Structure 1
Amino acid sequence: MARPARAAALTLLTALAGLSAGEPARADLSDDAARVARMWSLSGARVARLPPLFIEHGRTRLVAITPLPVGTSGAAGTPGAAGTSGAAGTPGAAGTSGAAGTSGAAGTPGAAGVKADECLTAAFLAPRIVEFTLETSPLAGDVSALEGLVERLRGRDPDEERRVHSVGGAAVITRCGPAREELGRVAVEVLSPRGAFDVVVAASSGPPERIEAILPERAFGPVAPRGDPGRPAEPGPLDARVARAARRARAEGALRVVPTDMSASVVGTGQFSVKLAEGCHRIDLMAEVPSATVRRATDLDAEAREAGTGRLLDRDRSDAPDGRLDFCLGEPGVVEVPFLGAAGPVKVVLSDAHWPLPPFVPGHFGARARGNLAAALHRRHAPAPRAQPIAEAVGAQGDTLVPVQVEPGRCYFAAAGLVRGELRGLRLSVELGDHAGRDDAGEGSEGAGVAFCSELEESAALRVGARGNSPVWVLAVWPMD
């Protein structure tokens, strides 16, 4: 076959293959929830879908699961016309249902009532990469405080036994008979940074079909039980740890390291109040290990707060024996450092390593913004700027695009810092030709920074995304040698 004819035949075969393949199957979170609702409804269950949820990490959400009266579900597992909820399968105004077999105000059971021995199931669906837990409220008098303490001393956690961990972004709780009251409030805690949820509720004569059978793509193999890592490693002598922290800070360019000590309380708690100079600080908290054989493990958790305002500067909740806090101050001030986790009334040392503020960090936006911009430079180990910023911008809540003119062949560092308000999240990203980069401020941090270099481009697109309570931020871009 001649080469032109062979090429034409290959082109025809490719086109036919594309036609036979059709559109790829696309499934999103709403489709998964609709499939679960449809399959449960076909098995005879009464099904309803709650409004979608969006939960951030560290913010537990309580979800009320009310019993479904007879006549709730409609066709295909979604709330229908008779005894239905509002449009698009979501509960209507004031949580009321329709006329026949309906619920009254605030979602209470209506005339048709609820069967006493049936099961109530709540399925929480999130994207498959989201990890979360569900926990029901215990029945009144289920576990007393004393009984719970005894169980914990025996190595068992009653709260952990009530938690349901998600698998493949899905978790289901079923309660039958009088135990349905436990679903009155379900606490959802997100272990991932954030997650969107669809909730499907079903009332049936027995437990409904398993989620793994309806959504096999979410099924996993057997999960190995969590092992016991044993007791934490001993941190070693206090004096050696203090000297090691000082050597590490000086090797990283700290101007000076100043230790301060105090005695913890009998329960291993305490609070330092230290006056610090402007600049960046690393505070290492180290506690003495008692010589007694039987003792509590040393695991210092601490946080740094600005005295007077109570503004959080940094927090350490790690499992390491020593605590570490990093932050920058735009002006001198008093910082309070409460801690817990020492092994009783022992000596605790606070070691403060200090780096001076980098030059050319603008101060006309206020001390808070100055410290946050310096923190972005310090956290990224960026060299100190040697010139004034080539661009500055101020923004507020939401996503903001800031175009910046750049020179081909030069590198830059951009930093965004909070001026006032409260943050739930701060992201700084840059797009330059085919390259992109981004940085997210961590927990307790109010600054983000990103470095980029221009090859042939003459402009860069910087985007600042701020979420929180009336946040106001400032952006500065420096040329870097």
Structure 2
Amino acid sequence: MAAARGLVERGRRAATRAARGAALALLTALAGLFAGAPARADLSDDAARVERMWSLSGARVARLPPIFIEHGRVRVVAIDPPPAGAAAVAGASGAAGASGAAGPAGAKAEECLTVVFLAPRTVEFTLEPDSLAGEPSALEGLVHRLRGRDPDDDRRIHSVAGAAAILRCGAAREGLRRVAVEVLSPRGAFDVVVAASSGPPERLESILPERVSGPIAPRGDPGRPAEPGPLDARVARAARRARAEGAPRVVPIDLRASSVGTGQFSVKLSEGCHRLDLMAEVPGAAVRRATDLDAEAREAGTGRLLDRDRSDAPDARLDFCLGEPGVVEVPFLGAAGPVKVVLSDAQWPMPPHVPGYFGARARGNLAFALQRRRAPAPRAQAIAEAVGAQGDTLVPVEVEPGRCYFAAAALVRGEMRALRISVELGDRAARDDAGERSEGAGVAFCSEIEESAAVRVSARGGSPVWVLSVWPMD
């Protein structure tokens, strides 16, 4: 009996080993089967799938050479129907291109022609086929749109998830000799598949279901702009905000705008930093223009732009610093007719130890670099100063371990397109870029054990000359 039980046990173990071996073989076979397919389909794979599925349905299919289009440029692609028994050769050009034949001789009059443009799913574009007889062409429509007119917007086909298709049957195939492609995204690469068939081929949505999206909700109406509120309350709020930020003096000035909501202040301002808040009265009439003030501040005489506000807010705000007293002109527009407009001037004094021997322009720009970074006023003379011009300039500065500093670079003369200041201290670095309309940049840094810092100033523009000042900070 023991021998029989041993034989039975050995048989069970053998059967178990055989079953495990069969399962392992099956898993290996399945792994090999799925390993042959790519884990992620790319643009070329999608185009190959469309080409294969349409070919299996009996259509004559050809793929055009890939194309690449930048935003804002219209590419006109010439389409040739695939000839019977051979792949078609079609070209694409930035102009009209060579127009293809309408179809091979003997083609059926009811034959359909389908063109598919495939791009990455994040690319948005439109297609517009060539015209039928007596209708404006795609190129003519483009000219109309550039001139501000937009006829027959329904002619354009908008992409969905990076794909768009055009189908024409019978005599309407003539309209697919050329297709205008306009990219709405920054740029896009395209694969183009052309098919000629006896009827409409399989829909693109069923071949590439991963590119199908749900319904697109309408944009809706955001409504009228928000009402800014009573003028007196806004003026008082601007004054409280400026005083909370340390402005010792706030001076309001008012005038009445023109009938179209425009006007200009001409104010004499002291040296130091200024914040000008422009606020317009809102009429009580139910039907009126929206209040959206846009303004800019310029030096009288030189016309140099100090600041500009073209935001969508009802009020305008201008920030700048003057190295010496002067007259500033503040033109504005956007008031709701001939209403009262108030200019609230919040004033901060010129920070001490900001040098004036480089000129009033440089002094104001250095002060604005401190004001922009909310840095405290320097309480000692600068430990380092330098003057530079166009390009990158490295200025080594000796520092004391355990102390903090503020470095500012400011334009003295010339025109500035870009200004950057950076400080390298050991393995740490800090930098600041001047704003679009600013002529000063500043950065704070602290030394731990280092005894030197590398200050780099990069200036680009029309013959710019700049000055650098480094102050110790308490």
Same fold (TM over 0.5): yes
Q: Evaluate the alpha carbon distance shift between residue 407 and residue 299 of structure 1 in structure 2; reply closer, same or farther with a 3 A threshold.
A: same
* Counterpart in the other structure of 2:64: 46
Distance 2:387 2:162 in 1: 43
* Counterpart in the other structure of 1:363: 356
8 Å CA contact 1:37–1:48 kept in 2: the answer is: no
* Counterpart in the other structure of 1:139: 142
Residue 387 (1) aligns with residue 380 (2)? yes
Bigger Cα displacement from structure 2, 393-402 vs 449-458:
393-402
8 Å CA contact 1:135–1:187 kept in 2: the answer is: no
Distance 1:163 1:316 in 2: 38
Distance 2:461 2:127 in 1: 27
Q: Evaluate the alpha carbon distance shift between residue 178 and residue 467 of structure 1 in structure 2; reply closer, same or farther with a 3 A threshold.
A: farther
Normalization by structure 2: what TM-score? Answer: 0.63
Distance 1:334 1:114 in 2: 72
The equivalences for 1:276-291 within 5 A come to 276-291=269-284
* Identical residues among aligned pairs (%): 63
The equivalences for 1:60-459 within 5 A come to 62-63=72-73, 65-67=75-77, 109=97, 139-141=142-144, 183=181, 199-200=188-189, 203-205=192-194, 229-459=222-452
8 Å CA contact 1:246–1:351 kept in 2: the answer is: yes
Q: Evaluate the alpha carbon distance shift between residue 102 and residue 235 of structure 1 in structure 2; reply closer, same or farther with a 3 A threshold.
A: closer
* Counterpart in the other structure of 1:79: none
* Counterpart in the other structure of 1:8: none
Cα shift at 1:288:
0.7
SS at match of 1:65: strand
Q: Evaluate the alpha carbon distance shift between residue 142 and residue 225 of structure 1 in structure 2; reply closer, same or farther with a 3 A threshold.
A: closer
* Counterpart in the other structure of 1:81: none
- 1:232-291 per-residue CA deviation (whole Å, 9 max, x = no partner) reads 333222223223322332332324322222212222222222232322110000101111
SS at match of 1:250: helix
Cα shift at 1:319:
2.9
8 Å CA contact 2:79–2:177 kept in 1: the answer is: no
Distance 1:312 1:133 in 2: 39
2:295 corresponds to which letter in structure 1? Answer: A
8 Å CA contact 2:43–2:120 kept in 1: the answer is: no
The equivalences for 1:29-40 within 5 A come to 36=43
Cα shift at 1:313:
1.8
8 Å CA contact 1:428–1:439 kept in 2: the answer is: yes
SS at match of 2:75: coil
Q: Evaluate the alpha carbon distance shift between residue 366 and residue 164 of structure 1 in structure 2; reply closer, same or farther with a 3 A threshold.
A: farther
Cα shift at 1:144:
8.7
* Counterpart in the other structure of 2:14: none
* Counterpart in the other structure of 2:16: none
2:378 corresponds to which letter in structure 1? Answer: P
2:308 corresponds to which letter in structure 1? Answer: R
Query: What value does the CA root-mean-square deviation take over the aligned residues?
Result: 5.0
8 Å CA contact 2:78–2:99 kept in 1: the answer is: no
Cα shift at 1:350:
1.0
Distance 2:216 2:450 in 1: 50
1:139 corresponds to which letter in structure 2? Answer: L
Distance 2:102 2:463 in 1: 45
Distance 2:251 2:157 in 1: 45
Distance 1:282 1:133 in 2: 44
- 1:370-391 per-residue CA deviation (whole Å, 9 max, x = no partner) reads 2221111011111111222222
Cα shift at 1:228:
5.2
SS at match of 1:239: helix
Q: Rg larger in 1 or in 2? A: 2
Q: Evaluate the alpha carbon distance shift between residue 221 and residue 277 of structure 1 in structure 2; reply closer, same or farther with a 3 A threshold.
A: farther
Distance 1:265 1:135 in 2: 47
2:349 corresponds to which letter in structure 1? Answer: P
Segments of structure 1 that go 5 or more residues without pairing to the other structure are: 1-34, 54-60, 71-99, 149-157, 189-196
SS at match of 2:240: helix
Q: Evaluate the alpha carbon distance shift between residue 68 and residue 48 of structure 1 in structure 2; reply closer, same or farther with a 3 A threshold.
A: farther
SS at match of 1:247: helix
Aligned length: 381
8 Å CA contact 1:119–1:203 kept in 2: the answer is: yes
Distance 1:120 1:423 in 2: 48
SS at match of 1:205: strand
8 Å CA contact 2:99–2:178 kept in 1: the answer is: no
Cα shift at 1:413:
0.6
8 Å CA contact 2:423–2:456 kept in 1: the answer is: yes
Q: Evaluate the alpha carbon distance shift between residue 63 and residue 141 of structure 1 in structure 2; reply closer, same or farther with a 3 A threshold.
A: closer
- 1:130-162 per-residue CA deviation (whole Å, 9 max, x = no partner) reads xx99999963556997999xxxxxxxxx99xx9
8 Å CA contact 1:423–1:446 kept in 2: the answer is: yes
Cα shift at 1:346:
0.6
Cα shift at 1:478:
0.9
Q: Evaluate the alpha carbon distance shift between residue 262 and residue 319 of structure 1 in structure 2; reply closer, same or farther with a 3 A threshold.
A: same
Cα shift at 1:355:
1.6
8 Å CA contact 2:257–2:340 kept in 1: the answer is: yes
Q: Evaluate the alpha carbon distance shift between residue 251 and residue 101 of structure 1 in structure 2; reply closer, same or farther with a 3 A threshold.
A: closer
- 1:65-92 per-residue CA deviation (whole Å, 9 max, x = no partner) reads 354688xxxxxxxxxxxxxxxxxxxxxx
8 Å CA contact 1:123–1:173 kept in 2: the answer is: no
Normalization by structure 1: what TM-score? Answer: 0.62
SS at match of 1:233: coil
Distance 2:382 2:127 in 1: 50
2:279 corresponds to which letter in structure 1? Answer: M
